[in-house]
Amino acid sequence: MTRPIKALIHLQHLRHNLLQMRHCAPNSQIMAVIKADAYGHGLHAALRSFDSADALALLNIEDAISLRQIGYVKPIILLEGVFDAEELRLCQAHQLTPVFHHASQLAWLNGLSVRQGHFPALIKINTGMNRLGFNPAALAHAWATLSAQPCVSDIALMSHFACADAEDAQTVTAQMRVFDAACAPYPAAQSLANSAAIIQHPSSHRDWVRAGIALYGSSPFAHQTADSLGLLAGMSLQSQIIATQNLQAGDCVGYGASFCADHPMRIGIVACGYADGYPRHAPTGTPVWVQGQISCLIGRVSMDMLCVDLSDIPQADVGSPVELWGQQNPIDRVAQAAGTIAYELMCAVAPRVQRVLCDSTIQELATHRSNPKQNKIF
Ligand SMILES: *Cc1c(COP(=O)(O)O)cnc(C)c1O
């Protein structure tokens, strides 16, 4: 038997979450954002779950080309655009949709030959986040350059919100005002909304919405649970107890002896550590599901192991199932306890953790061991 840690990927939950997003934005086309290996779930799982989305969005042109090679025909958006002139040629060859967010990318359009094919483009406008995008004053030049380029078949406009998850709508409203003023002269499709805006800012939906975190079953909001939004966990990070210890009062646990028992207690050692992607900074008290109930982490997370309190779970023993996060133990709660966000936890699940794809009825229907050195991902 292999080491018992695995990430179960629930394809039906991913599909359900996509439908939830459609329900929120019924009049928009939906881009499923699958960057960072589909937020750690694997491109294979994403492709199987999000085939009904209207487009896919990611960062790496290599992944985009792989999607084309296995026959994906809908738009594929490169959210950071191209990183050199050669990649524009690949956009031509594979009909990819790069985002243009900087003048350097416009310069690479020179020298493209229309005989090598066409591609649609997105122009990103900086409406206040000050990360990627042309300032409104530079939009006219970007538009003129792209529309004069015979290789560019279509142009759409986009921006990104800095605070779509905030309880007050002030910065979203301000960014939309800048966007609307900048876009007014141009007859182009628009895209603004990430998951948080899809859920709470209907006026931002426009032609295309860009769903990420909600597809994977995490709430974009600190003040609302995924459950209350009707989202289901896309990933369940599971392992097992591989040893137990009985502590006496005064006995300490793990590196740094940061946890010391003040009464006799039983603990379990779980085959999951920071080298699997579990956050090392998660403190004592972080929720861990063990054999049917919520227990908690104690002591420091080590590279390959962590410890849980078994005092109230006498039936738990070597081989007992553990869910680090997932359906029983919401990832948002684990993230909050660890002082981070679910995005980071999902993306950090290590390549050594096997992704096991499961469909509603057939468990372990297909297995995909992710291997970063392997170029063929499907
Ligand atoms: C990652 C990303 C998204 C998705 O954001 P979520 O908060 O995960 O829904 C949308 N748009 C852009 C440009 C992104 O980079």
Concatenated DSSP letters for 127-146? Answer: SSS-SSSB-HHHHHHHHHHH
Closest C-alpha to 295, from 263, 321, 259: 321
Report the pLDDT averaged over residues 109-138: 97
CA distances from 111 to 97, 149, 360 (A): 18, 10, 50
Residue 46 has pLDDT above 80, yes or no: yes
The pLDDT value given to residue 295: 98
Categorize the per-residue pLDDT at 206 as very low, low, confident or very high, splitting at 50, 70 and 90: very high
Q: Which ligand 1 atom sits closest to the C-alpha of 39?
A: 8
The pLDDT value given to residue 375: 33
Report the pLDDT averaged over residues 60-77: 97
Q: Which ligand 1 atom sits closest to the C-alpha of 99?
A: 13
Categorize the per-residue pLDDT at 377 as very low, low, confident or very high, splitting at 50, 70 and 90: very low
CA of 150 to the centre of ligand 1 (A): 30
CA of 212 to the centre of ligand 1 (A): 5
Lining residues, ligand 1, CB within 6 Å? 33, 35, 79, 160, 194-196, 210-213, 220
Q: Which ligand 1 atom sits closest to the C-alpha of 213?
A: 8
CA of 152 to the centre of ligand 1 (A): 24
Contact 156, 123 (CB under 8 A): yes
Residue 143 has pLDDT above 80, yes or no: yes
Residue 131 has pLDDT above 70, yes or no: yes
Q: What is the pLDDT of residues 310-368, one digit of tens each?
A: 999 999 999 999 999 999 999 999 999 999 999 999 999 999 999 999 986 444 444 44
325 - beta bridge partners? Answer: 237
The pLDDT value given to residue 168: 95
Categorize the per-residue pLDDT at 192 as very low, low, confident or very high, splitting at 50, 70 and 90: very high
CB crowding 316-350: b at 16 or more within 10 Å, else e? beeebebbbbbbbbbbbbbbebbeebbbebbeebb
Q: Closest Cα to atom 10, ligand 1: which residue?
A: 194
255 is catalytic: yes
Q: What is the rounded distance in angstroms from the CA atom of residue 134 to the CA atom of residue 140?
A: 10
Q: Which residue in the list 6, 35, 216, 343 is annotated as catalytic?
A: 35
Burial (CB count <10 Å: 0-12, 13-18, 19+), residue 162: middle
Q: What is the pLDDT of residues 224-276, one digit of tens each?
A: 999 999 999 999 999 999 999 999 999 999 999 999 999 999 999 999 999 99
CA of 319 to the centre of ligand 1 (A): 38
For the chain, the maximum distance between any two Cα atoms, rounded to a whole number of angstroms, is 77
124 is catalytic: no
242: Cα within 13 Å, side-chain hemisphere = 14
Report the pLDDT averaged over residues 146-166: 97
CA of 110 to the centre of ligand 1 (A): 30
Report the pLDDT averaged over residues 52-77: 97
CA distances from 200 to 17, 44, 165, 293, 295 (A): 16, 30, 8, 33, 33
Q: Closest Cα to atom 6, ligand 1: which residue?
A: 212
Helix and strand numbers, DSSP H then E, in the chain: 11, 19
Q: Distance between alpha carbon 131 and the CA centroid of its chain, in Å?
A: 19
Q: Which ligand 1 atom sits closest to the C-alpha of 158?
A: 13
Both tokens of 366, joined, read 């297909």
pTM of the predicted model, to two decimals? 0.94
